Homo-oligomer: A and B are copies of this chain.
Amino acid sequence: MKSVTQRARDLRRRFHVKPHAAVDLEALDPAETSHVGDKETAKAQTEEDALAIDALQDRLFAEGRRALLVILQGMDTSGKDGTTRAVFGRTGPLGVSVTSFKKPSEVELSHDFLWRVHKACPQRGTIGIFNRSQYEDVLIGRVRKLASREVIEHRYEQINAFEDMISSSTHIVKFMLHISKDEQKERLQSRLDNPDKNWKFDPSDVAERKLWDDYLRAYETMLQRCSTAIAPWYVIPADKKWARNAAVATIVRATLEEMDPQYPKVDFDPAAITID
């Protein structure tokens, strides 16, 4: 197996969105797997990375100075939940918080769009995972015209400024899980065919699916405008779950290794303390 550093370098070369670079999502094959090897290798590597992430999280928690925020975006059924489980399923529950952003409540709507996001940011020492995020406000917000074009245009800058603000204590990494329209069809169909999965199906998903191309354009604009040096976007091929999980796990692990959290020094002399 390649080292995590090598693997992360390869993945970043292929899937990192360079700041300001135009993105053509149709040119990126969602079924691509060559970056993670065969299925068996990828699964073993994901498990190894998940265990390493747990150990790194322990140090992050002990250090208590920085947080990691992982943002997951993607079309319906792209696997945001599954990725969370595969990558963070080995991390102690104490150090991980997952926030699923749904349709905003009345109270949330009565604030600026980043208010509920800020509240959910992870505290120092922990990993926060956003299942959907502030980016919904430039995705569904743009496609469904939930705000004027001027307001939407302004939001890209507001998001960048917001991420810059929280970056003083929080490291940020963002993944768009990129699936094909055909793969989505299969996944939606399996929710209909399997009675235990029916509850996951939302009839409104069919309506959103009809706007597929509009969403792709909104994602492309978002990626171009909001992949920054302090908060990079990655586009991860996600038709194959195992390839998707392996790529995200490697980048998260490499990010934590680069953060290199340290057990803190204490301000007392352990040898001088007696416990009666």
Decide yes or no whether A37 CB sits under 8 A from chain B. no
Interface window among A25-33, A167-175, A201-209: A201-209
| CB proximity to B under 8 Å, residues A32-86 | 62, 64, 81, 84-85
Residues of A199-238 whose CB lies within 8 A of B: 199-201, 203, 206, 209-210
A93 CB contact (under 8 Å) in B89, B195, B199: B89
The complex places the Cα of A120 from the Cα of B266 at a distance, in Å, of 30
Contacts of A244-264 to chain B: CB distance below 8 A = 263-264
- Please tell me if A121 contacts chain B, counting CB pairs below 8 Å: no
Q: How far is the CA of A201 from the CA of B266 in the complex (A)?
A: 9
How near does chain B come to A183, taking the closest CB pair, in angstroms?
12
Asked whether, in the complex, the Cβ of A85 is within 8 Å of the Cβ of B81, the reply is no
A188 touches B93 (CB 8 A): no
Interface residues on A, range: 35 or more
- Judged by a CB distance under 8 angstroms, whether A112 is at the interface is no
A-B contact pairs, 10 of them (CB 8 A): A84-B94, A85-B94, A185-B276, A192-B273, A192-B275, A198-B265, A199-B264, A203-B273, A206-B276, A210-B276
Which residues of B lie under 8 Å from residue A90 when comparing CB positions? 89
Bound-complex Cα distance A206 to B98 (A)? 35
Q: Would B273 and A206 count as touching, CB distance under 8 A?
A: yes
Residue of B nearest to A87 (CB): B93
User: 8 Å CB contacts to B: which residues of A149-192?
Assistant: 185, 188-189, 192
- Tell me if A88 counts as interface (CB < 8 A to partner B): yes
Contacts A84-B93, A203-B268 known; 4 new A-B pairs at CB < 8 A: A88-B93, A94-B100, A199-B266, A206-B275
A106 within 8 A of B: no
Decide yes or no whether A270 CB sits under 8 A from chain B: yes
Whether, in the assembled complex, A134 has its beta carbon less than 8 Å from a beta carbon of chain B, the answer is: no
Known pairs A185-B275, A263-B198, A275-B185; A192 contacts B270 (CB<8 A): yes
B198 touches A270 (CB 8 A): yes
A65 vs B271: C-alpha distance in the bound complex, in angstroms? 52
Kindly identify which residue among B84, B94, B209, B264 contacts A275, using a CB–CB cutoff of 8 Å.
B209
Kindly report which residue of chain B lies nearest to residue A197, judged by CB atoms. B263
Contacts of A210 in B (CB 8 A): 276
Partner of A196 from the list B131, B198, B263, B273 (CB cut-off 8 Å) is: B263
CA distance A89 to B196 in the complex (A): 24
The B-contacting residues of A in range 91-118, CB under 8 angstroms, are 91-94, 96-98, 100
Complex: A41 Cα to B257 Cα, angstroms: 36
Closest to A273 in B: B192
Among the listed B89, B93, B200, which residue makes an inter-chain contact with A129, where contact means beta carbons less than 8 Å apart?
Answer: B93
